[in-house]
Amino acid sequence: MNLIIDVGNSIVKLAVFKQEKIILKNKISLQDLQNEIYDITKEFKNIEKAIISSVGNLKKSDLNFIEKYFKTLVLDTSTKVPFQNLYKSPKTLGVDRIALVSASVKNYYKQNVLIIDAGTCITYDFISYENKYLGGAISPGIRARYQSLNNLTANLPLLETKTPHNFIGNSTTESIHSGIINGILNEIEGTISEYDKNYKDLTVILTGGDADFLSKQLKSSIFANSNFLLEGLNYILEFNTN
């Protein structure tokens, strides 16, 4: 069994894999990491390996605690991956994007795949049927757009995410919802369309915290998978230990 640890800025996602199946998945605060790891060691005696993906601030003490219990791989840009990386600045490629591309190799090998991760940022990552990662795009996520309107203007309110009632907003509140949500939907649809023009038999994966919200409103054919990043991390761990 493998332990997967995905560390964000304040939230940590943990998963226990038995071969390719998730048998435990939790979301905790960074402050609770060591206690949660300890509880997992008590519940699952057969975990031997762990992988850590961190885009947040993982403390050295937390890393030492994890390494005390498991043979641990810390994912970074030097880690062996199952694809050819053609990114021009590979050392700046986020570990979350590396994991997502690896998941596409595992699940859609020798296919043209566009992975859309809708979270704090919306990232687009493309890997060709030749197993070559070409890059993609990064734009602000849903909450970042709501917050920026509030932070960078004097009078616009900070709203909770909501599907707009009408395309034409008939109030400031509805105009904000329409601008942000329809703007993102059109961005995603437009991006998919551009890739579809240039690459045959395109497979599109939508993942991330806002995937469920967005998938219900998109017209393009997509596969929504909220566990895609965790699956990619598990595959990288196996790829580096087998």
Q: What is the pLDDT of residues 175-187, one digit of tens each?
A: 999 999 999 999 9
In this prediction, the residues of the chain whose per-residue pLDDT falls under 70 are none
Q: What value does the mean pLDDT of the chain take? A: 95
Does a structural domain hold residue 242? no
> In 119-139, which positions are buried (b, 16+ CB within 10 angstroms) versus exposed (e)?
bbebbbbbbbeeeebeebeee
Same domain for 39 and 134: no
Domain extent at residue 212: 84-233
Same domain for 66 and 88: no
Residue 25 backbone phi and psi in degrees, to 5: -145, 125
pLDDT of residue 126: 98
pLDDT of residue 9: 73
The pTM for the full model equals 0.93
Do residues 228 and 100 lie in contact, with contact meaning Cβ atoms separated by under 8 Å? yes
Does a structural domain hold residue 48? yes
* Single residue among 55, 74, 93 that ends a domain in this structure: 74
Joined together, the tokens standing for residue 49 give 């390996």
Same domain for 112 and 200: yes
Same domain for 92 and 15: no
Dump the DSSP string for 165-218.
S-SS-SSHHHHHHIIIIIHHHHHHHHHHHHHHHHSTT-EEEEESTTHHHHHTT-
pLDDT of residue 225: 95
Does a structural domain hold residue 152? yes
Annotated active-site positions, please? 96
Same domain for 95 and 142: yes
pLDDT of residue 56: 73
Q: What is the pLDDT of residues 217-238, one digit of tens each?
A: 999 999 999 999 999 999 999 9
CA distance 7 to 141: 18
